[in-house]
Copies of this chain bind each other. A is one copy, B any other.
Amino acid sequence: MVGPFGGITAATLLRAAEQHPGRLGDPLALTVNFAGPVADGPFEITATPVRTNRSTQHWSITLTQDGTVATTATAVFGTGRPTWSATEIARPDVGAPEDVPVRPSPGHVAFVDNYEIRFVEGALPDGVSTARPDSTTTLWVRDAPARPLDHTALAALCDVFYPRVLLRTGRFVPAGTVSLTTYFHADAARLAEQGDRPVLGTARAGAFGHGFFDQSARLWGRDGALLATSHQWVYFKD
């Protein structure tokens, strides 16, 4: 793993577009490409609305450090309207957040201390684990300290699941996200309803091979609302 937690990079790029005075509506889709590590120190983000339509707006976003491109992104913002709705994928059948303990800080990964995580299934291997036949992790998570959920925080949360190759192999192999795409099902009103309650998240890999794999995540809010779906392409070494 090189550079900081990918989720905070994604959230920071999204926030740059959100703060632009010409911004239209809420985030709908975000793709962040981790082209190189971001070092501790100053960086610059350029967020450009490349095309604004009646109900959607397309963004190009770039993070540079010392004149070198470290991260690129595209985002779609837009305004929704009431339509027929249905959630087709199933929320994991789990109990309440209080049914599972908060994971103690592992100490060695800084970003984890910014989250209150309760593993329901598929906790991070502790170094003496063995391989598993399935890479699923299901957990409850919220910011630590707790604060109301917004799209920026949701963008970061989608990357809170560590690389699935660690769980499948049971070994701490080097791995890092190459590209991360998130779809925001929740609008600002839905996120306001969520408040600072824990979010239920689940993640699983698709397939591993020739140094890369994909993984997908789903984040669920109160009343069984799907808040976001997210997908990433990850590099690994074995």
List the interface of chain A (C-beta within 8 A of B).
Answer: 28-29, 31, 33, 35-36, 50-51, 53, 55-56, 58, 60, 62, 68-69, 72-74, 76, 78, 80-89, 134-135, 168-169, 178-179, 181, 183, 185, 187, 204-212, 214, 216, 218, 226, 229, 231, 233, 235-238
> How far does the alpha carbon of A33 sit from the alpha carbon of B183 in the complex, in Å?
13
A84 touching B169, Cβ below 8 Å: yes
A212 touching B86, Cβ below 8 Å: no
Q: Interface SS of chain A: helix, strand, loop or mixed?
A: strand
Chain B residue at minimal CB-CB distance from A84: B238
B214 touching A183, Cβ below 8 Å: yes
What residues of B have a CB within 8 angstroms of the CB of A85 in the complex?
207-210
A76 touching B226, Cβ below 8 Å: no
A68 touching B84, Cβ below 8 Å: no
